[in-house]
Amino acid sequence: MKKYPLALVLSEEHADIIAEFSAFIQKLEALSGTEIDLSGIYPAAFPNYTVELIQTLQEKHFHERTFK
Average pLDDT of each block of 10 consecutive residues along the chain (68 residues)? 71 87 82 74 86 88 71
* The predicted structure's pLDDT at residue 39: 82
- CA torsion angle 16 18 19 24 (round to 10): 130
* The predicted structure's pLDDT at residue 67: 65
The H-assigned helical ranges of 1-68 are: 15-30, 38-41, 47-66
Contact predicate 49/43, CB 8 Å: yes
Say how far apart CA 48 and CA 19 lie, in whole Å: 33
Contact predicate 36/28, CB 8 Å: yes
SS3 42: coil
* The predicted structure's pLDDT at residue 35: 75
